[in-house]
């Protein structure tokens, strides 16, 4: 995808959206909460940029958003970063092989990415603290969060398209 804007404007808009949605997710989770489940807005942005611009932008999005989440929610530094960067790379590689303009494909990618990120996050937590367990948090937190994140994703994709400007397809799709 190629953006129809000046490169610095695009980079600043990207950074502002990443920081804004990371702030919303960590500072106002009660506004997003539905049945004690909060969507992962940073992950949605990682998937959005993986589809729109490839794995490099997605990995940078995961780095910036993950760093903010690690600091804001008092987890081990790098925990969110590793999960978001790995998911950003994987989705970026997969999105080059798919026709990603359909909303169902985008929501499905977000669902799979969220499940993968949740599983990876809980696995890292389990390795660090085995007494916490892994199956109960997976079934009660990661899976509901993945579904809620997939439901919120199309609305965030529209908002990100509005902020970043209309995208112009230059041949990404089936390879």
pLDDT over 70 (residue 170): no
pLDDT of residue 5: 58
Domain ranges of the chain: 36-158
pLDDT band at 89, cuts 50/70/90? very high
pLDDT of residue 166: 58
| Residues in the chain, total | 175
pLDDT of residue 6: 67
pLDDT of residue 109: 92
pLDDT over 80 (residue 115): yes
Contact yes or no for 57/14 (Cβ under 8 A): yes
Contact yes or no for 64/45 (Cβ under 8 A): no
pLDDT of residue 53: 87
Segment among 77-86, 95-104, 145-154, 155-164 with least mean pLDDT: 95-104
pLDDT of residue 167: 56
Please spell the DSSP secondary structure of 94-119, one letter per residue: HHTTS-TTSHHHHHHHHHHHHHHHHH
Give the distance, in angstroms, between the CA of residue 17 and the centroid of all CA atoms in the same chain: 12
Over residues 141-165, mean pLDDT: 88
**How crowded is residue 175: how many other Cβ atoms within 10 Å of its Cβ?**
7
Question: pTM to 2 decimals?
Answer: 0.84
Q: pLDDT tens digits for 123-138?
A: 988 888 888 888 888 8
Query: Average pLDDT of the chain?
Result: 84
């Amino acid at each position: 995808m190629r953006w129809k804007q000046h490169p610095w404007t695009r980079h600043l808009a990207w950074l502002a959206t990443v920081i804004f949605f990371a702030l919303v997710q960590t500072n106002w989770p009660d506004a997003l909460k539905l049945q004690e489940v909060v969507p992962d807005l940073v992950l949605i942005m990682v998937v959005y940029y993986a589809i729109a611009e490839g794995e490099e932008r997605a990995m940078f999005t995961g780095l910036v958003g993950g760093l903010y989440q690690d600091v804001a929610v008092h987890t081990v530094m790098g925990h969110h970063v590793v999960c978001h960067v790995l998911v950003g790379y994987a989705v970026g590689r997969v999105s080059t092989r798919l026709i990603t303009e359909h909303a169902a494909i985008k929501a499905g990618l977000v669902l799979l990415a969220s499940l993968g990120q949740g599983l990876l996050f809980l696995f890292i937590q389990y390795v660090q603290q085995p007494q916490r367990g892994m199956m109960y948090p997976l079934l009660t937190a990661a899976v509901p969060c993945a579904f809620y994140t997939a439901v919120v994703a199309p609305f965030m994709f529209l908002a990100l398209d509005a902020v970043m400007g209309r995208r112009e397809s230059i041949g990404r799709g089936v390879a």
